Amino acid sequence: MKRNFRDWDLDEIEETFNLLQVEQLDSLTHWLSFSYTIDDYEKKYLDELKAVYLIGGDDWNEVELENKFISPLFVFAKMDSKQFAYFLERELSATIGDYEIMGKVDGMIATGFRNPRKPYFCLNEYKRQTDPNGDPRAQVLIAMLAAQQINQDDNPIYGCYIIGRSWYFMVLVGQEYAISNVFTCTDEELYDIFRILKGLRKGIQLLTD
């Protein structure tokens, strides 16, 4: 049976694929606690990016949010390397049991140069908490599940969903997943978001070396 990412909700994903949401995963705790001190140049850039959002970010559509804020932040975190890269609007699909799950992922970090091969991180961004095109948590989780199936290993799959100025980080390990508390990009938590992205880069680098 073929089903698009946007057709799933959390209850269906958990019941169909025997997943369990837990309050805490060591992989998520380790990721969120990554130690990184931003320098003056980084602070200046992040403050400028935050100021851009504060001017009109709450009125941006999803394309504007991606182009004016999310991608500049990921590029500044130096997500592209010889081993992996940050891809946008790429298709992802996998067959799990009786289901072929597929869809377009807003952002993906995967090995590969021109095209993604082995995915380690999936991102979805939304304009609103309630969106007619699906549940942001479910869409990123089902994409992470597809990535896990493609990779066929025990490594964690990282994820993030963004609703306006609110960022949530996720990790899927085996049949368990956990979601972080919210981080807000319009205050000093933007420095934490950047630190977490640097930790993501480090974590994926260790997996691909």
* Host H or E run for residue 205: helix 189-208
Q: Which residue has the tokens 């705790």?
A: 29
Under the phi-then-psi rule, with left for phi > 0, alpha for psi from -120 to 50, and beta for the rest, what region is 164?
left
The residues, any chain, with a CB within 8 Å of residue 51's CB and separated by 6 or more, are: none
Give the per-residue pLDDT at 137. 93
Per-residue pLDDT of the chain (209 residues; tens, 9 = 90+): 999 999 999 999 999 999 999 999 999 999 999 999 999 999 999 999 999 999 999 999 889 999 999 999 999 999 998 899 999 999 999 999 999 999 999 999 999 888 999 999 999 987 554 455 568 899 999 999 999 999 999 999 999 999 999 999 999 999 999 999 999 999 999 999 999 999 999 999 998 88
Residue 15 CB neighbour total at 10 angstroms: 9
- Quote the pLDDT of residue 4: 94
Q: Alpha helices of 33-164 — where are they, by DSSP H?
A: 40-56, 62-65, 71-76, 136-151
| pLDDT, position 131 | 53
- Say what the pLDDT of residue 130 is: 47
Domain membership of residue 152 as a residue range = 2-208
d(Cα 77, Cα 74) in Å, to the nearest integer? 5
How many domains, the chain? 1
**35 exposure class (CB count in 10 Å sphere: 0-12, 13-18, 19+):** exposed
pLDDT of amino acid 128: 55
Q: Where are the beta strands (DSSP E) in 81-126?
A: 84-96, 99-111, 119-126
- Please report the pLDDT score of residue 133 as a whole number: 58
pTM score: 0.94
- CATH number at 76 reads 3.90.1570
